[in-house]
Structure 1
Amino acid sequence: MTTTTLTDALSLRGVTRSYGGVRALDGLDLEIRPGEIVALLGPNGAGKSTAMEMMVGLATPEQGSVRVLGTDPTTATRTGLIGTMLQAGALLPDQRVRTMLRMLHSLQAHPMPMAEVVAQADIAELMPRRISALSGGQSQRVRFAIALLGDPQVLLLDEPTVGMDIGARRAFWQQMRRVAASGRTVVFATHHLEEAEREAGRVVVMDRGRVVADGTGAEIAAVVAGRVITLRGV
C-alpha cells in the first residue's frame, strides 16, 4: 500500500444535500487525518450513510466540497484509493464467493493479492460457497473483502457488524485492528456507542446532518451519559 503526505485523508466542507423535503446533510464540516480510526455515531437519519455516499461519489453535494486524499471522490474510488463496505451493497446471489471476488479483483487498478484479501477478511471457508447460502454476518465479511480488493488507503464501513452475533462481531473487529495497523484510514458508521468507544480512536457524533460532538470515545461517552432526553407527545 502506498502512503501520502497530504494533510487530510477525507475532507468535507460545508456539504449540503437534500432528498425531497428532507435535508440529509446540513453544512457538514468534517476532516479526517491519514491513519485515524474514526466512528461516525448517530441514530438512523443522522446523515452518516449520506456522508459516506458523498465520500465515494455515489452522491454529490448541492453545496460544499468533498475531497479524498486531495482528489475528487469518483477518481479516488476508480483508482482504488478508497474502498467501501456499504450496508446494502449488492452481492450476486447465484455466484460463488470465489467467482465473484475474482471478477471484481480483475477490475481493480492496483489490486491487493487475493490471498491477502482472503486472509484479512477471514473468508477462506466461504470461498467455495454460493452467495445465496451465506448468513447475514458472512455476507458482511464478503462485503469487507470487496472493500479490500483495491488495496485502499481509506476504508469506509457502513454499519459493518449488522447481522452479526456477539462472537462474529468480536472476530470482525479483531481482523479490523490488523487491517488498521497497516496505516490505513478507517471510518465506520454505527449507532452503538459502546462499539464506537471501544474500536475508534475518535468518535464523531452526527445529528440532523451536522457534527454535534467530536472527541475520544471516553469524552463522548461522558457527554452522552450526562444528557437528559425528553420525549414530548404531540
Structure 2
Amino acid sequence: METVFERVSFSYGRTPALTEVSFAVPEGQTVALLGSNGAGKSTTVDLMLGLRKPAKGKVTVLGGRPEDAVAKGRVGAMLQTGGLPADATVTDVVDLARRLYGKRRSLKELLDLAGLTEVGNRKTDALSGGQKQRVRFAVAMAGQPDLLFLDEPTVAMDFRARRQFWQAVKAQGKTVVFATHYLDEADAYADRVIVIDRGRVVAEGTPEQIKGDANLEDALLELTEEGR
C-alpha cells in the first residue's frame, strides 16, 4: 500500500513549513527527501508519523491514517530528536523497545543488525554519536515494521559506518523514507528522490534525473558542499 501526501500544507504559527506538498511512496521503494536544513523534511516525517496534523490536505500511510499505522506497529522511525536513558545499557534500551511489540525481532538479531553486539553492555552516555544513531536504528527496527522513516539517519557517522548502516537498511527490503541533506547519500541509496526547498517540492525523479536537472544545479551544489 502506498504512503501518500495530497496537497499538504503546515505552518508553525504564521511561518509556513510546507505548502501544497504532494507525492506518493510506493510499497518496496526507498525514497529520499532531499533538501537543506530547514527545508521542511523533518516536518514531512512528523506528519507521516501522525505527530503533527496538516493544516490542509491529507496524509495517508499504508492505506490509512498515520496514527493507525503507528499504533499497529507497522511503522518504525529513527528521528533526530529524543535522547537515550543515560543510566541504561545498549542491551537494556533495545530489549525494552522490542518488548513493546507482539511481532518483534530477537535481541540478538537487533544487536547484530545495528552493529551493536560489541557495545551491548555499554551505558548509552558512553557511546559516540554514531553509536547512538545505531541504537536508534535498532529501536526503529524492533517491531519488524513494514515502513521505515529515517530522519537524517547518518549524522555523526563516519564514511564506513554510513556504508554499513545502509547495507543493513537495504538488506531488510522494506519501504523506506529518509530525510537527508547529503546529495551523495540520496544518489547512492534512493530509488527515487524528492527535492524539497522552502517547504515545496521542486523536483522529483530518479537520482539520475535529479542530477541531470539543470534547474537544480545551484541547489545541488549547495547540498554537495553540505555533505562533505
User: Does TM, scored on the shorter chain, surpass 0.5?
Assistant: yes
TM-score normalised according to structure 1 size: 0.89
The share of aligned pairs that are identical, in percent, is: 45
Distance 1:102 1:26 in 2: 40
Q: Does 1:134 align with 2:127?
A: yes
Which residue pairs with 1:232 in the alignment? none
Contact 2:94 2:110 in 1 (8 A): no
Counterpart code for 1:142: V
Unmatched runs of 5 consecutive residues or more in structure 1:
1-5, 230-234
* Residue 28 of structure 1: how far off its partner (Å): 1.1
Verify: 1:210 aligned to 2:200, yes or no.
yes
Matches within 5 A, 1:22-61: 22-61=15-54
Deviates more, 1:98-107 or 1:156-165: 98-107
Residue correspondence of structure 1 range 146-185 to structure 2 within 5 A: 146-180=139-173, 184-185=174-175
Structure 2 CA distance for partners of 1:115 and 1:63, relative to 1, 3 Å: same
Q: Which has the higher mean CA deviation after the structures are superposed, 19-28 or 141-150?
A: 19-28
Higher mean Cα deviation, 107-116 or 153-162?
107-116
> 1: distance between equivalents of 2:178 and 2:214?
19
Structure 2 unaligned runs (5+)?
220-228
C-alpha deviation, 1:175, in angstroms: 1.7
Q: Deviations over 1:39-97 (max 9, x none)?
A: 11001111110000011111111111111111211111121111000012321111111
Is residue 2:183 matched to residue 1:190? no
Deviations 1:153-178 (A, max 9, x none): 00010011100111211221222221
Q: Which residue is equivalent to 1:124?
A: 117
Counterpart residue type for residue 41 of structure 2: K
- Counterpart Cα distance in 1 of 2:60 and 2:205: 22
Residues 79 and 109, structure 1, Cα contact 8 Å, conserved in 2: no
2:225 is aligned to: none
Contact 1:78 1:109 in 2 (8 A): no
| 1:97 aligned onto 2:87 | no
2-side partners of 1:91 and 1:27: how far apart?
Answer: 35
CA distance in structure 2 between the aligned counterparts of 1:228 and 1:164, rounded to whole angstroms:
26
Q: Distance in 1 between matches of 2:58 and 2:105?
A: 30
TM-score, normalized by length of structure 2? 0.91
Please state whether the residue corresponding to 1:40 is helix, strand or coil.
Answer: strand
Q: 2:10 aligns with which of 13, 17, 34?
A: 17
Aligned with 2:217: secondary structure?
A: coil
Cα shift readout 1:174-212 (whole Å, capped 9, x = no counterpart): 2222123xxx10111111111101111111101122211
Root-mean-square deviation over aligned CA pairs: 1.5
8 A contact 1:67–1:73 mirrored in 2: yes
Amino acid at match of 2:196: M
Deviation at 1:116, TM superposition (A): 2.1
